[in-house]
Structure 1
Amino acid sequence: MPAAAAGLTLAAMKKPQLLRVAGAVLLSVAAAGCSVMPSAPTAQARPKLVVFMAVDGFPQRQVLAYRDQLAPDGLARFLDRGAWFANAHYGHSVTATAPGHATMLTGAYPHRTGIINNEWRDVNTGAAVYNTGDTQHTYIGHQTRPLDGTSPRNLKVETVGDVLRRVDPRSKVIAISGKDRGAILPAGRTGTAYMYMSQTGQFASSTYYMKEHPAWVTTFNAGKPADRYFKTEWKPLLPEAAYARSLPDAQPWFGKRVGKLPMMMGAPNDDAPGLSYYSGLLPSPFADALALDFARAAIAGEGLGRDDAPDILSVSLSGHDYVNHYWSAESRLSHDHVLQLDRLFEAFFRDLDATVGRDNYVAVLTADHGFMPAPEYSQSQGRQAGRLTPAQLLTRINADLQRQFGEPKLVPFISASTALVVDRKVVAQKGLDLNVVAEAARASLLADPAVAAAYTRRELESGSKAGAPYFGQMRRSWHQDVSGDVHYALKPYWMNASSSGYSTTHGSPHEYDTHVPILVYGPKWVKPGKVEARVEVADIAPTIARWLGVPPPAAAEGRPLPLAAP
């Protein structure tokens, strides 16, 4: 029906008829070549493979800090011949590994994904919950502890890979990481995750995905590739003078961990690789090299990017997070680790070009969070900074509440590192009002010089504090089914210290933690150049969905990145 003729009869039509005619008009206009709505890419226009990469704990400031020292075709491929976003951020406040990885390919923040931190406590029982923990499943061929990550059971939403496989079951989604959460959460419900096993130096999946590994995985592990680095030194790539912009080795706040290059892999007295050696590879470039080697094996073994059913390969490199936790992003070790990753990327891209074809894939690189400077470094720069001990904070708050309500332990624990949980049983037994207790706990929190903001469950559920400091970010990190009763954030440069003894950490709503890279390379799909517009990591999943010609994940709250076509 011509558009003009349709317009003459609209007034006489009932609603169902009107909707059908409107749809027909849109289809006829689109068929005539008018740009009413973007059409899905054809099979020929879609990339055969989306290579999604994350560097754990990689703040945007480090991407550019050593730009003059990068290899010609590693990170520089994105910066010089791809598109990169100068102002990319996370929109939630608890910037940790699991929430970040849950956001990347779902396009949703923790208030929808349910992944509020790496671990949290059940608000009713106090039981520990791990983000990818699932006692119904075990690692294949490896010992599995109760809180080990084995499935996406706690992830409440779908990924773009889940959508892709629903549209075309021939498509494959493979996710690889040094950490279980770095593989399981991007893999979603229908992909396949493989994790580095620090017990053996092998990569393994879990019984959630399969009963036994495919032959290519068995062959890869049989070669014992991790053993090749035994007694190998991690040496600086460049001469000493090249690291003048970074802090020297062996800072006093490194603690007991050795913080000096060159660094030997394996203890001096070890005669053969063992548990301490395999786990010791993680804070080094070598576990990342192994992950990329396993990715190469996956491309070959699974035939990724070989047919007209597009595939997704997700690779999360975990080493940088350990390096920055141990020695800080300002350290020479972190500086050199960036350069080591850069060279690993260059070799990986060269192999992708040869095996998949330069014009057949799109590569995207981001991070799950940034990193705060070590408090001691911030203090040396004249900033107000310090370390807050959660146990001491909890003791003081309970003392304040006892003076008001006469009960000694109304807040039994802190969940997800950022929320007080009120004891519901005691509140009910004593006839107290949960909201009144939460308000008093919030007032006690705000009296601490390290606390920037705190909001109660009632405020977060209702949105009544919209526009208040950090409220939007904190609300996106808070899930009503699993989060605590008073959600709080620390002031800039204050660190939530814990028994880990880390030099520094992440997990705040501040720019050093939220500002991460989003880098894209794919000459057939993306025009190169720097993009100044503010974007969010939640925008990545809808962007990939558009390239693949599938709907974005149902819970996605991002929008496609503002990328110009080539």
Structure 2
Amino acid sequence: MTVKLYGALFAATLALVTPVALAGQNALAPAAPAPAASKAPAKLIVVISVDQFSADLFAEYRRHFTGGFARLQQGAVFPSGYQSHAATETCPGHSTILTGFRPAHTGIIANNWVDLNTARQDKTVYCAEDESVPGSNSVTYTVSDKHLLVPTLGERMKAANPASRVVSVSGKDRAAVMMGGHHVDELWWWDGKHFTTYAGRTEPAVVTRANQAVAAEVATAQGPLDLPDFCAAHDVAVDLGSGKSVGTGRFARAAGDAKAFRASPEIDGAAFALAAGLIQDMKLGKGEATDIIDIGASATDYVGHTYGTEGAEMCLQLAELDKSMGDFFTVLDRLGLDYEVVLTADHGGHDIPERHRQRGLSDAARIDPGFTTKSVSDAVAAKLHLTGQLLYGDSGSGDIWIDPKLPPKTREAVLKEALAIYRANPQVAFAFSRAEIDAAPWPTLPPPLWLPVQRAKASYYAPRSGDIVVALKPNITPIADPTKGYVATHGSFWDYDRRVPILFWRKGMAGFEEPLAIETVDIMPTLAASIGLPVAAPLLDGKCRDIGLSTGTCGGR
């Protein structure tokens, strides 16, 4: 069995607009090839972010792809791209892809940060919310683009020519917002029940059809998927304790289980179907100006968190994503569009330590459950004979904030003692103070050569970042108990979280592979050059790459 959504949802979403299929043909039957290569700028830019798609996963599976990934490998392949900063999470990573800026300049330092000066009781701020909305908190929030400090490629295109349309679709709100930016024509994300958008916006008919089709699919039980032969070696159960194991899942789910739908290949099929419907309904790529659509494929991240990155579940997920993208490109070909594609990821990911240890990685471990921000805060308070909470943070690592209400000398003493405790912890690699990060040189070398403090600096925005940034040692997973929720994660300073593939494709371009490192911030100026869009201030962290998408060249950009 394969996921039903690919045929059914694409057909249901597209059927009532100008028909995609000729009479008697299946909507996803092999299509005529896309238009011949043109020297003119492409009429549609398609940007795909595969959440938690590490360079390691790409290298592991690339020879097995036969659909969308196979097509993209015919273009410009950068197998060692970098989300070069230390904040390797969804929101910061997506903020780099179409802005050309690292998180230090986008202002998106993490998925969540602590603002002890905010007026509301909940001091945690979600990256894509407006925390000033009365009654909101970081869990029940109003989605907003207000925290993104710089423009996206779509915004620059629209500023240069208002006829350009900007569309963003994703399984996550933060991915849709950070790639779409502040001025979008359509922006849709999955909220756990259906695709939704900002309050007050009109729902187009194609979105209504997509939501109806998805609701019907969620309401129908999904049987186990067939396991491709190349996934057989991954089909090994790993015991996590308390009766929980991973590694042999097939994405079977009960009728109505929307949570399981989200953590499966089905949600990517839904996102691509909606994107195809919006392209057709809005006639993207058919107007006088180049249009852009951003697509956030979120399932790989949910699968990685829920099952780890090296079991049958991830193998199945990537095989199904390959099919879903192939179907999506088939639709674009049938529409006769002249389009160019870039695919990358917001960050990588790390497998569960239990499976790593089975494979001989002896230093793989979970974080000590006693090592939390609160435990360090309590230890500092005891040492300095202070009372109350002194340190704030979501976990035992990452950004740590010191209570700003403390007197300056007390803050200095707290900082000194906290750094000593963090640096003495056997699971901690580094702990940097704000002053140390400020003093570090801005990175100029290729990202594999950056010092750890430079990785921290690239994602450090002083008005939001912590007073201390803590990096766990490699192969330490910051999830203490895998039996109570997610089993694996990302967010580290290390290359398994920093390295991601970057693939460019346009019909007729000369394909090549470049093993040397580039950054995701290079994508925006490269795409801008491909359509002849000058990049004015604010200037970028990224560099344009001459890769042959069109006759447009990087020039002085």
Task: Give the alignment's TM-score, normalised by structure 2.
Answer: 0.83
In the alignment, what sits opposite 1:104?
A: 97
The aligned counterpart of 2:477 is 495
Q: Structure 2 CA distance, aligned partners of 1:286 and 1:261?
A: 14
- 2:339 maps to which of 350, 354, 361: 361
Give 2:404's aligned amino acid.
Answer: R
Q: Distance in 2 between matches of 1:529 and 1:254?
A: 49
Q: 2:428 aligns with which of 428, 445, 451?
A: 451
How much has 1:393 moved relative to structure 2?
3.2
Deviation at 1:324, TM superposition (A): 0.7
Aligned-residue offset at 1:310: 0.5
Q: Does 1:406 align with 2:390?
A: no
Shift of 1:490: 0.9
> Post-superposition shift, 1:237?
4.0
Q: Is the 8 A contact 1:453 1:489 kept in 2?
A: yes
Matches within 5 A, 1:351-500: 351-357=331-337, 360-380=338-358, 381-389=360-368, 392-409=371-388, 411-415=390-394, 418-425=398-405, 427-428=406-407, 432-463=409-440, 469-497=451-479
Deviation at 1:396, TM superposition (A): 4.1
2:162 aligns with one of 155, 164, 169: 169
Partners of 1:222 and 1:406 lie apart in 2 by 60
Task: Please show how residues 249-260 of structure 1 align to structure 2 within 5 Å.
Answer: 249=237, 251-252=239-240, 256=244, 260=248
1:230 counterpart (203, 216, 220) = 220
Give the alignment partner of residue 515 of structure 1, picking from 474, 480, 499: 499
For 1:415 and 1:263, the matched residues in 2 are separated by: 31
**What is the distance in 2 between the residues matched to 1:541 and 1:296?**
22
Find the partner of 1:127 among 98, 120, 123.
Answer: 123
Question: Which structure 2 residues correspond to residues 154-233 of structure 1 after superposition, within 5 A?
Answer: 154-191=147-184, 192-199=186-193, 202-207=194-199, 210-224=200-214, 226-227=216-217, 230-233=220-223
Distance apart, 1:93 and its partner CA: 0.4
Structure 1 residue matching 2:543: 3-state secondary structure:
coil
The change in CA–CA distance for 1:263 and 1:534 in structure 2 (over 3 A counts) is closer
* Residue number in structure 1 paired with 2:83: 90
Q: CA deviation at 1:464?
A: 7.0
Mark the CA change 1:63 to 1:435 in structure 2 (over 3 Å): closer, same or farther.
same
* Conserved? CA contact 1:439–1:456, under 8 Å: no
Structure 1 residues 230 and 136: CA distance shift in structure 2, 3 A: farther
Q: Tell me the TM-score normalized by structure 1.
A: 0.82
Task: Compute the displacement of 1:374 (Å).
Answer: 1.2
Whole-Å separation in 2 of the counterparts to 1:151 and 1:543: 27
Deviation at 1:311, TM superposition (A): 0.5
Q: Give 1:508's aligned amino acid.
A: S
Matches of 1:282 and 1:135, distance apart in 2? 26
Counterpart code for 1:53: I
Relative distance call for 1:58 and 1:533 in structure 2 (3 A) is same
Partner of 1:315: 295
Q: Which residue of 2 aligns with 1:116?
A: 109
**1:546 is matched by which residue type in structure 2?**
A
SS of 2:426's equivalent in the other structure is coil
The alpha-carbon deviation at position 480 of structure 1 amounts to 0.3
Give the Cα separation in 2 of the matches to 1:113 and 1:474.
14
Q: Specify the alignment match of 1:551 in structure 2.
A: 534
Q: Note if contact 2:433-2:467 (Cα within 8 Å) is conserved in structure 1.
A: yes
Alpha-carbon distance, 1:366 to partner: 0.5
| Aligned equivalents of 2:250, 2:549: Cα separation in 1 | 45
> Which whole-Å CA distance do the structure 2 matches of 1:367 and 1:234 have between them?
27
Q: Quote the RMSD (CA, aligned, Å).
A: 2.8
Cα distance between partner residues in 2 of 1:540 and 1:396: 42
- The offset of 1:351, in angstroms, is 1.2
Equivalent residues in 2 for 1:8-87 (5 A)? 45-71=40-66, 73-79=67-73, 81-87=74-80
Partner Cα distance (1:410, 1:198) in 2: 35
Determine the C-alpha separation between the residues in 2 that align with 1:253 and 1:288. Answer: 30
* Alpha-carbon separation, structure 1, partners of 2:280 and 2:132: 31
- Code of the residue aligned with 2:59 in structure 1: it is L
Q: 1:29 matched to which residue of 2?
A: none
Could you tell me how far apart the structure 1 residues matched to 2:450 and 2:502 are?
28
Paired positions, count: 498
Q: Structure 1 225/363 Cα, relative in aligned 2: closer, same or farther at 3 Å?
A: farther
Q: For 2:155, give the aligned amino acid.
A: D
Compared with structure 1, are the counterparts of its residues 163 and 47 closer, same or farther at alpha carbon in structure 2 (3 Å cutoff)? same
Cα separation, 1, equivalents of 2:242 and 2:335: 42
1-structure distance, mates of 2:108, 2:480: 20
- Structure 1 unaligned regions, length at least 5: 1-42
Contact 1:398–1:410 (8 Å) recurs in 2: yes
CA contact under 8 A between 1:48 and 1:305: conserved in structure 2?
yes
Whole-angstrom CA distance in 2 between matches of 1:384 and 1:532: 29
Aligned residue runs from structure 1 range 238-257, under 5 A = 238-239=228-229, 242-246=230-234, 248-249=236-237, 251-252=239-240, 256=244
> Which digits, 9 at most, give the CA deviation of each residue in 1:37-62, with x for residues without a partner?
xxxxxx97111000000111111121
Contact 2:236 2:247 in 1 (8 A): no
Once the two structures are TM-superposed, the CA of residue 250 in structure 1 deviates from its matched residue by 5.2
2:150, 2:243 → 1: CA distance? 40
Counterpart CA distance in 2 for 1:238 and 1:282 is 21
Residues 445 and 356 (structure 1), Cα distance of their counterparts in 2 relative to 1, 3 Å cut: farther
Distance 1:128 1:458, change over 3 A: same
Structure 2 residue ranges without an equivalent (≥5)? 1-37, 444-448, 551-557
Between the aligned partners of 1:279 and 1:115, the Cα distance in structure 2 is 27
CA gap 1:253/1:332 in 2 versus in 1, 3 angstroms: farther
In structure 1, give the amino acid aligned to 2:217. D
Identity score, percent: 29
Residue pair 1:137, 1:150 contacting (<8 A) in 2 also: no
Q: Give SS of 1:397's match.
A: helix
Question: SS where residue 420 of structure 1 aligns?
Answer: strand
SS of aligned partner of 1:281: helix
Comparing 400-409 with 164-173, which one deviates more in the overlay? 400-409
> Which whole-Å CA distance do the structure 2 matches of 1:74 and 1:438 have between them?
50
1:354 positional shift: 1.2
| Residue pair 1:249, 1:332 contacting (<8 A) in 2 also | no
* Residue type at the aligned position of 1:186: M
Instruction: Identify if the C-alpha distance between structure 1 residues 468 and 296 changes in structure 2 by more than 3 Å, giving closer, same or farther.
Output: closer
Residues 450-497 of structure 1, C-alpha deviation per residue, up to 9 Å, x if partnerless?
111111112222337989940111111111001110111111101112
Letter in 2 for 1:59: S
* Distance 1:294-1:178 versus aligned 2 partners, 3 A rule: same
Aligned to 2:277: 297
SS of corresponding position for 1:175: strand
| C-alpha contact (below 8 Å) 1:174/1:313 kept by paired residues | yes
C-alpha deviation, 1:415, in angstroms = 5.0
